[in-house]
């Protein structure tokens, strides 16, 4: 284990904890929707509208995911997503409902709303996951909206990247040069959404264009149930963002939910899985960003990350929303 991982894990927990928002600062006692990153705010606003119209938790997370997928300026989700190293945008998404119903699409091309296609896989096929050309054909058969990708600015970023063709996930975290790097601002970030409906049932969704300039055919954690998303209607739900290869290694979202089942709060559950990943991988993750976000069945929430800078949006039943900044294992460098 590297010195930096050892220090973060064993010697400086107080410092890492200091960056978390304390429970006393929170304006809302119970959340009904949480979503990753700052763009979770607009996602939650859409989800709450759906809840007011008596939509289900699944309707809430799908609506929120669609808003972010529609943003041409979002370079890591939906139509504005950065392409793979061959210049093709391949989208990954999944949904999970309270009763264990699941649906996912991987490496879906030319379709504007992968989160809705994932839901259709769940509701209209005997399967749980469709990939690549089969997923695309299914989406076209179901008359899902198409989109021309990459967007002009995503294509320009890819052409710039081609000049060096250096592949490295750029962590979205504080105090780095990521804004000026090819693929910046941040060349990955997924929207993961967790919600509690009016009937008390939970659902989740996760949608992404994955790591910018990834190998063709690469699939991350986001469409993998148990890794990018897991919902257990008895306990709570969790979602992940960051380097998907790391999340898959610890079946991250499932591990967070199981930690809650053992009695940990959402924040502590996320933190325990981040620490486990760091123990497992040592220096291999010292420069990566991985973050988890969790919502308990009773509406408690929390997140934790490897690196500082992970934010998430929290919304209560009235629609009041705040963006919080998660604590992290490593300190800002
Ligand atoms: N988890 C996503 C992936 O690996 C990327 C991200 O959330 O930053 O595809």
| 277 part of a folded domain | no
Pairing of the two strands 327-328 and 229-232: unpaired
Atom of ligand 1 nearest to the CA of 192: 7
**For 118-122, 130-134, 172-176, 192-196, which range has the lowest pLDDT when averaged over its residues?**
172-176
Ligand 1 pocket residue status of 186, Cβ below 6 Å: no
Regarding the beta carbon of 244 and ligand 1, being less than 6 Å apart is answered yes
* Average pLDDT estimate for 22-49: 85
- Residues 176-232 have pLDDT tens digits of 444 334 334 444 689 999 999 999 999 999 999 999 999 999 999 999 999 999 999
What residues have CB less than 8 Å from 273, skipping those under 6 apart?
A: 250, 252, 255, 256, 259, 292, 304
| 97 within domain boundaries | yes
Mutation choice for ligand 1 from 192, 228, 238, CB with most ligand atoms inside 8 A? 228
Q: How confident is the model at residue 126 (pLDDT cuts 50, 70, 90)?
A: very high
Instruction: Determine, yes or no, domain membership for 312.
Output: no
Q: What is the pLDDT of residue 13?
A: 41
Domain that holds residue 202: 29-239
| Residue 287 near ligand 1, beta carbon < 6 Å | no
Minimum-distance ligand 1 atom for the alpha carbon of 186: 8
Q: How far apart are CA 223 and CA 119, in angstroms?
A: 12
Q: Is residue 197 assigned to a domain?
A: yes
Beta bridge partners of 105: 93, 130
Which residue's CA is the closest to the ligand 1 atom numbered 8? 189
Largest CA distance in the chain: 56
- What per-residue confidence (pLDDT) applies to 170? 60
Dist. CA 307–CA 331, nearest whole Å: 7
Measured distance CA(55)–CA(39) in Å, rounded: 21
Confidence at residue 9, expressed as pLDDT on a 0 to 100 scale: 56
Q: Is residue 150 part of a domain?
A: yes
Neighbour order of strands in the sheet with 229-232 = 229-232, 236-242, 290-296, 301-305, 327-328
Mean pLDDT of the chain: 89
Residues annotated catalytic, as ranges = 190
| 123 domain-assigned | yes
Residue 175 phi/psi, 5-degree rounding, is: 60, 40
Structural domain total, the chain: 1
CA dihedral 256, 262, 263, 269 (to 10 degrees): -20
Among 76, 218, 242, say which to mutate for ligand 1: greatest number of ligand atoms within 8 Å of CB.
242
Over residues 229-269, the pLDDT tens digits come to 999 999 999 999 999 999 999 999 999 999 999 999 999 99
* Residue 189 confidence (pLDDT): 85
> In this predicted model, which residue has the larger pLDDT, 278 or 171?
278
Provide the pLDDT confidence category of residue 3 given band limits of 50, 70 and 90.
low
Residue 171 Cβ < 6 Å to ligand 1: no
Distance 209 CA to ligand 1 centre (A): 8
> Could you tell me the distance, in angstroms and rounded to a whole number, from the CA of residue 240 to the centre of ligand 1?
8
- DSSP one-letter string for 221-263: STTSBTTTEEEETTTEEEEEEE-HHHHHHTTHHHHHHHHHHTT
pLDDT for residue 167: 73
- What is the structure's pLDDT at 250? 98
Q: What is the C-alpha to C-alpha distance for residues 284 and 42, in angstroms, rounded to an integer?
A: 34
What is the distance between the alpha carbons of residues 256 and 238, in angstroms, rounded to a whole number? Answer: 6
Share of the chain above pLDDT 70, in %: 85
Q: Is the pLDDT of residue 90 over 70?
A: yes
83 is a domain residue: yes
Is 221 inside a domain boundary? yes
Q: Is pLDDT of 82 > 70?
A: yes
Q: Is 305 in the pocket of ligand 1 (CB under 6 A)?
A: no
* CB within 8 Å of 139: residues ≥ 6 apart: 105, 108, 111, 117, 120
| pLDDT value, residue 101 | 98
Contact present, 223 and 89 (Cβ < 8 Å): no
């Amino acid at each position: 284990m590297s010195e930096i991982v050892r220090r973060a894990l064993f010697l400086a927990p107080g410092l890492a904890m200091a960056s978390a928002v304390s429970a006393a600062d929170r304006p809302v006692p119970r959340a009904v929707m949480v979503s990753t990153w700052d763009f979770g705010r607009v996602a939650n606003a859409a989800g709450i509208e759906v809840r007011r119209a008596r939509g289900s938790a699944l309707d809430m997370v799908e609506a929120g995911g669609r808003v972010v997928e529609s943003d041409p300026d979002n370079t890591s989700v939906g139509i504005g997503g950065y392409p793979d190293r061959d210049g093709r945008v391949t989208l990954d998404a999944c949904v999970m409902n309270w009763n264990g119903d699941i649906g996912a699409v991987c490496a879906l091309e030319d379709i504007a709303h992968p989160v809705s296609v994932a839901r259709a896989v769940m509701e209209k096929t005997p399967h749980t996951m469709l990939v690549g050309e089969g997923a695309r054909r299914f989406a076209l058969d179901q008359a899902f909206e198409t989109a021309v990708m990459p967007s002009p600015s995503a294509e320009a970023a890819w052409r710039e990247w081609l000049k060096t063709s250096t592949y490295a996930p750029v962590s979205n975290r504080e105090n780095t040069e990521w804004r000026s790097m090819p693929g910046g601002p941040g060349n990955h970030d997924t929207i993961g959404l967790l919600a509690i409906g009016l009937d008390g049932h939970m659902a989740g969704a996760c949608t992404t264009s994955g790591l910018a300039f990834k190998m063709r055919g690469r699939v991350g954690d986001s469409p993998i149930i148990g890794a990018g998303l897991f919902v257990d209607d008895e306990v709570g739900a969790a979602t992940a963002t960051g380097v998907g290869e790391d999340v898959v290694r610890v079946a991250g979202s499932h591990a967070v939910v199981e930690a809650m089942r053992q009695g940990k709060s959402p924040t502590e559950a996320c933190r325990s899985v981040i620490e486990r990943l760091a123990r497992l991988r040592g220096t291999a993750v010292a420069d990566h960003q991985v973050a988890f976000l969790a919502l308990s069945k009773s509406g408690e929430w929390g997140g934790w990350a490897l690196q500082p800078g992970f934010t998430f949006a929290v919304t209560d039943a009235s629609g009041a929303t705040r963006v919080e900044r998660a604590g992290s294992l490593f300190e800002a460098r």
